[in-house]
Amino acid sequence: MKLLIVGGGGREHALAWKLKQDSPSVELIAAPGNPGIAEYARCLPVALSDVNALASLAEEEAVDLTVVGPEAPLEAGISDMFARRGLNIFGPTAAAARIETSKAFAKDLMVRAGVPTGRAETHTDPVEAKRAVAAMGAPVVVKASGLAAGKGVIVAQSSAEANRAVDSMLSDRMFGAAGREILVEEFLEGEELSLFVITDGKTFLPFIGAQDHKRLLDGDLGPNTGGMGAYAPASLATPALISEISSTIIEPTLAALRECGSEFRGLLYAGLMLTRDGPKVIEFNCRFGDPETQAILPLMTSSLLELLLAVGCDGSLSNVAAPSWSDLSAVTTVIAAEAYPERPRKGDAIHLPKPPAGVQVFHSGTAMENGQLVTNGGRVLTVTAVANSVATAAERSRAYAGEVVFSGKQFRRDIGWREVSRSA
């Protein structure tokens, strides 16, 4: 069995690590991969945006299944291309991926399907958008409709701040084409929850819940980032809540995607706000989350490979058992580069001590330069500790993150704090 993993971050490192655990005999290749993934896979320098070259690679290598990590190749139609060339792939078509790649499409679909989500208006004209800001009142959220690497969302505390966001997106084109269309959205209050479901388009199986930490600094302060850490399981995600989310959110969303001819096959990630009125969708992603994947997969005791093959090769999950989970806790701390998220510096030498038992290091943005591991991205490493309590896992993840050495290192020392205080 041979698999191609598309991507080169911590999420893809965790996928490779888990697939190799599921089946040590599986042969992995990765494009482009990274020095951490290289421990399990042959890494080949093919650009994520070149879906033609990725399909040719899968063909030449006679790959049984390709697993796509990031959203960009999905938006670029990698699944459509693979299907045309008769190649198996895990990941939705570009049309189905619009659930993430166009927030305007996603909002419209949710409204039509009666899926609970914040009220919102879509605008392309700054005057109209500011009228919507005034009508909604602060706090209010302004979002670029397209992909903006996690930076296209402004949670504005005042109308003036929201109006500045409108201008920077619609007039100054801060996010280019991704911000040609924006959403002005109701501010939702509550705790956030990330829930992944794997689906063949009709049947789906939920994973355990996780919580991300989007802000750069301890105490959930500072700017939004791609995610500074995560933990799983989130005790908020009780079986009853997961079943409510399944029936009020996941089922109608998958049905609406089928009805519009864009059946979604792959991993659907619901970013939820648990409000006083029940769970509401903040956003959907069309792929595994990063860094939630690095916290969730170390707790999966059943085979991920079996799930990916069922969706990507057989096209059906109906004969596959739900995944099973360890009853331990996982806490993942992201170690970011100097000046992340604004202008992360690259090329700083990294000293990586040997991790103790129960601690797993996933490479997010690293490169090998003349035999030296160096920083090569905003998020550099993700450190997952698994232990019998969230407090112990948090302590071990933090302690190891403290031992990693590179210039300008940033990491949060409070990942999992909500769960730690709930469990105290």
Residue 265 or residue 280: which is nearer to ligand AMP going by CB? 280
Q: Alpha carbon of 227 to those of 60, 206, 211, 215, 378: distances in Å?
A: 36, 21, 10, 7, 11
- Sites for ligand AMP among residues 359-398 (CB under 6 A): none
Smallest distance from the beta carbon of 141 to ligand AMP, in angstroms? 4
DSSP 405: B
Stretch of 35-43, 111-119, 283-291, 372-380 contacting ligand GLY, by CB under 6 A: 283-291
How many chain residues are in contact with ligand GLY, going by CB under 6 A? 7
Number of Cβ within 10 Å of residue 129's Cβ equals 25
Residue 107 or residue 396: which is nearer to ligand AMP going by CB? 107
Assess 285 for contact with ligand GLY (CB under 6 A).
Answer: yes
- Sites for ligand AMP among residues 187-216 (CB under 6 A): 187-188, 192, 214
Per-residue mark of binding to ligand AMP, 127-146 (x: CB under 6 A): --------------x-----
Alpha helices (H) along 172-311: 239-245, 251-259, 292-296, 304-309
Stretch of 80-88, 122-130, 272-280, 287-295 contacting ligand GLY, by CB under 6 A: 287-295
Amino acid identity, residue 256? Answer: A
Smallest distance from the beta carbon of 296 to ligand GLY, in angstroms? 11
Q: Among 227, 298, 341, 365, which residue sits at the site for ligand GLY (rule: CB under 6 A)?
A: 227
Q: Among 7, 36, 209, 271, which residue sits at the site for ligand AMP (rule: CB under 6 A)?
A: 271
Residue 103 or residue 123: which is nearer to ligand GLY going by CB? 103
Distance, CA of 346 to CA of 162 (rounded, Å)? 32
Rounded-to-10 torsion of CA 74, 13, 301, 288 = -30
Assess 155 for contact with ligand AMP (CB under 6 A).
Answer: yes
Residue 37 or residue 140: which is nearer to ligand AMP going by CB? 140
Whether cis (ω within 30° of 0) applies to the bond prior to 356 is no
Smallest distance from the beta carbon of 324 to ligand GLY, in angstroms? 24
Q: If DSSP codes are grouped into helix, strand and coil, which group holds residue 274? A: strand
Stretch of 4-12, 147-155, 160-168, 383-391 contacting ligand AMP, by CB under 6 A: 147-155
Distance, CA of 131 to CA of 129 (rounded, Å)? 5
Distance, CA of 130 to CA of 32 (rounded, Å)? 42
Assess 252 for contact with ligand AMP (CB under 6 A).
Answer: no
Q: Select from ligand GLY, ligand AMP, none the partner in contact with residue 292, using the beta carbon and a kind-dependent cut-off of 5 to 8 Å.
A: ligand GLY
Q: Select from ligand AMP, ligand GLY, none the partner in contact with residue 290, using the beta carbon and a kind-dependent cut-off of 5 to 8 Å.
A: ligand GLY
Q: Which of 369, 370, 368, 366 is nearest to 378 (CA)?
A: 366
Residue 103 backbone phi and psi in degrees, to 5: -65, -25
Q: Among 282, 330, 401, 420, which residue sits at the site for ligand AMP (rule: CB under 6 A)?
A: 282
Do residues 96 and 70 touch, judged by C-beta distance below 8 A?
no
Q: Among 78, 290, 397, 418, which residue sits at the site for ligand GLY (rule: CB under 6 A)?
A: 290
Assess 100 for contact with ligand GLY (CB under 6 A).
Answer: no
Residue 139 or residue 150: which is nearer to ligand GLY going by CB? 150
Distance, CA of 91 to CA of 268 (rounded, Å)? 9
Per-residue three-class SS string for 46-94 = CCCCCHHHHHHHHHHCCCCEEEECCHHHHHCCHHHHHHHCCCCEECCCH
- Sites for ligand GLY among residues 138-167 (CB under 6 A): 150
Distance, CA of 279 to CA of 242 (rounded, Å)? 10
Stretch of 70-78, 180-188, 330-338, 340-348 contacting ligand AMP, by CB under 6 A: 180-188
Q: Which of 419, 189, 188, 200 is nearest to 295 (CA)?
A: 419
Q: Select from ligand AMP, ligand GLY, none the partner in contact with residue 294, using the beta carbon and a kind-dependent cut-off of 5 to 8 Å.
A: none
Q: If DSSP codes are grouped into helix, strand and coil, which group holds residue 269? A: strand
Q: Among 10, 118, 233, 378, which residue sits at the site for ligand AMP (rule: CB under 6 A)?
A: 118
Report the interface residues with ligand AMP, using CB under 6 A.
118, 141, 150, 153, 155, 185-188, 192, 214, 224, 271, 282-283
